[in-house]
Structure 1
Amino acid sequence: MEIKLNSKIILEKEFKKKMNGYSVDQVDQFLDQIMEDYDAFDKIVAELQAENKRLKEELQNAPRKPVTSQSLGNTNFDILKRLSNLEKHVFGSKLSE
């Protein structure tokens, strides 16, 4: 994806004049608005690119915490314990039958 226009190109764009054509003042005013939007978009894109770069660097420099099998085992145990308690609560004495 390539950006083909910028505010300078828009400013320097000239249109051929014909009889019963567009109002030159209206076209100029509209092009002025487009230029302002392009400048705003350029600023927003630059800010987002800078933020994206900063976040990527922050992610690369963040300390990594290794996942151990012990922590996974504890998590599985906790889930099974909760499931067992839930079954006892729902089914009550019917479980032992």
Structure 2
Amino acid sequence: MTKEMNLTAQEIFEKEFHVDIKGYAPAEVDEFLDLIIEDYQVYDEKMEELGQALSRYEEKIKELQQEIYTLQSENQNLNEKVSADYVNGNTDMIDLLKRIARLEQAVFHTTNSAPVKPEE
């Protein structure tokens, strides 16, 4: 609602109507204008309330955007750590497998040749 109001509650209150022989009854017009003033006052209060709510929500959005940025940074750091641990973990696993193979060779005196068939 960016459109400005044409009249304020005070302008409506101060409005005077000219009455001629066939004109409106002043008491009737005043009663109607009183209703308009009340409506404008309620409207103004509601607009103020909504403006304050909007300010609170905009501030909350800024806070949440900052929290999102922080969480994304933390997530990226954790992903990098997991990737590094995975690479190191794979390297460690390969090293362990090589050690086990060497130990088996030393213990069982095996070679890389084909397995020997048992005699029947």
TM-score bracket relative to the smaller structure: 0.5 to 0.7
Corresponding residue for 1:66?
A: 72
Residue aligned with 1:66, SS: helix
**Among 22, 27, 39, which residue is 1:37 paired with?**
39
Code of the aligned partner of 2:49: E
**Among 8, 11, 20, which residue is 1:9 paired with?**
11
**How far is 1:66 from its partner?**
2.4
**How far is 1:53 from its partner?**
0.8
Q: Deviations over 1:44-88 (max 9, x none)?
A: 000001001100011101211429697xxxxxxxxxxxxxxxxxx
Segments of 4+ moved more than 2 angstroms = 65-70
How many Å separate the matches in 1 of 2:9 and 2:44? 10
Q: Kindly indicate whether structure 1 or structure 2 has the higher relative contact order, using CA contacts under 8 Å at least 6 residues apart.
A: 1
Is residue 29 of structure 2 the alignment partner of residue 27 of structure 1? yes
Give the gaps of 5 or more residues in structure 1: 71-97
How many Å separate the matches in 1 of 2:58 and 2:15? 39
Root mean square deviation, CA, Å:
1.8
